[in-house]
Homo-oligomer: A and B are copies of this chain.
Amino acid sequence: MRKTVYKTPSAESLVFNIIRNEGSANRTDLVDKTGFSKSTISLQINRLIKKGLITEFQPVGAENTIRKLQIKLLPNTGFVVGVFLGIHRLSITLFNLNMEAVKETVFDLVSVIEPQFINELIIKKIELILQQGKIDRQSLWGIGLGFPFHVDFQQGIPETPPNLPLWHQFPLKSLYEKYFSCPVLIDNDVNVMALGEGFSGIAQDERDFIFVKIGNGIGAGLFLDGRIYRGAKGSAGDIGHIAIGGESRLCHCGNIGCLETIAAAPAIASKGLEAAMTDESPLLAAILKEKNKITAKDVGDSAQRGDMFSLQIIQESGRHIGTVLAKLVNFSNPGMVVIGGGVAQSGNIFLASIREAILRRSTHLATTDLQIRYTELQEKCGPIGAGRLIIEEIFSSSMFSKTIDENLQT
């Protein structure tokens, strides 16, 4: 029989999380939602007030009885930091316990090849943002990080990141935990972005959705039954190396015809370069002459300006991605597909091509209510998701008491 966890969440953590998730609540709500007695609820409320985690207030116009008192979080009792590392950009945001951004910083990077250097930079930037927010170390309750490669989630260690050999098994989690003396969680970029959209973005009403990041690579974060699904070995969502029939381009993974080799940013850029060099697209040719290079963004922009050849490249990429997503939609029947990442800024034509390919090849049942949308949070999706990763952990039923004991005098 597979390992089952039988421990139940404490009344205190339940009451706190209802108040945190719902924004505010009164005693009657809490009795209804938990099934606990009035006296248990009152006991927990008094304990949480004493600890400085929540407060009571009388809503305007409401009668002055204890039943009608609203209870809400005191959000500035503690803080978490969300770190999101992209290939060319580092984003760090300081959040209070309500996940309101208190301070945020963005820093452009030339390369992320050297882990020692990058992590020292991240640590410096976290210290700086704490200073700017006037937050002492005792008020930092946790750090969540999203990195642009596969991470063993339990261990917090990167595993064979493609093209970044120095990061392989670099002890990320312990480095940050030791330095900041607080809980740290690390996940790959797409899972973190899915968390961001799932809790604070366009997918917040969905229990089941797929977040697809299309940039230099292609990956997916699976949000199933209200939580991130990581799979048996943590590699769920690894869709960039799904084979496209009839394609023969060699991928860096060693296989041929992988989706990301055919449809991600480098493929779009290289098709654009070809069109510029052969003068098939005069617009791209002019861009090449001016900048001496063509990026996927150039092709996307040109497509939005009506350049036929760029349009074709973007549509072709969307079609390939949509054809793969059609299979995954049949398989996992999500309520929404959210498209993010750099290439997601290529406009409506790109999204329309993806949508068309999904709808053409998925079953009726799987697509009846399926929404296919662009990310709402855009660049903020990463740091918000990273903050969410750690805040949901420190307030989870198994961690709640530890979090409170370590951070608050009782």
Contacting residues of chain A (242-269) with chain B, CB-CB under 8 angstroms: 242-246, 253, 255
Considering only CB atoms, which chain B residue lies closest to A33 in the complex?
B6
A134 at the interface (CB under 8 A from B): no
Contact bitstring A209-243, B, C-beta under 8 A = 1, else 0: 00000000000101011100111111111110111
A335 at the interface (CB under 8 A from B): yes
Pick 19 A–B contacts, CB within 8 A, sort by A.
A2-B206, A4-B21, A4-B226, A6-B14, A7-B33, A208-B231, A225-B225, A233-B369, A234-B365, A236-B333, A238-B330, A238-B365, A238-B366, A242-B326, A242-B331, A243-B327, A243-B361, A327-B328, A331-B332
Query: Are the CB atoms of A220 and B331 closer together than 8 Å?
Result: yes
A1 at the interface (CB under 8 A from B): yes
A159 at the interface (CB under 8 A from B): yes
- Once the chains are docked, how many angstroms separate the CA of A328 from the CA of B242? 9
Contact bitstring A331-343, B, C-beta under 8 A = 1, else 0: 1111100000000
Q: Using known A-B contacts A6-B18, A327-B327, determine if residue A332 contacts B222 with beta carbons closer than 8 Å.
A: yes
A8 at the interface (CB under 8 A from B): yes
Secondary structure call for the A interface: loop
Greatest chain B CB density within 10 A among A14, A224, A326, A331 is at A331
Where the two chains meet, the residues of A that have a C-beta atom closer than 8 Å to any C-beta of B are 1-4, 6-9, 14, 17-18, 21-22, 33-35, 150, 159-160, 199, 204-208, 220, 222, 224-226, 229-239, 241-246, 253, 255, 323-324, 326-328, 330-335, 361, 363-366, 368-370
Greatest chain B CB density within 10 A among A150, A206, A207 is at A207
Shortest Cβ-Cβ A-B pairs, 6 listed? A231-B333, A245-B245, A232-B335, A235-B365, A236-B333, A208-B232
Query: Are the CB atoms of B159 and A331 closer together than 8 Å?
Result: no
Using Cβ atoms and an 8 Å threshold, which residues of chain B touch A239?
327, 330-331
Query: Are the CB atoms of B8 and A368 closer together than 8 Å?
Result: no
- Once the chains are docked, how many angstroms separate the CA of A203 from the CA of B246? 35
Q: Using known A-B contacts A2-B205, A6-B18, determine if residue A366 contacts B331 with beta carbons closer than 8 Å.
A: no
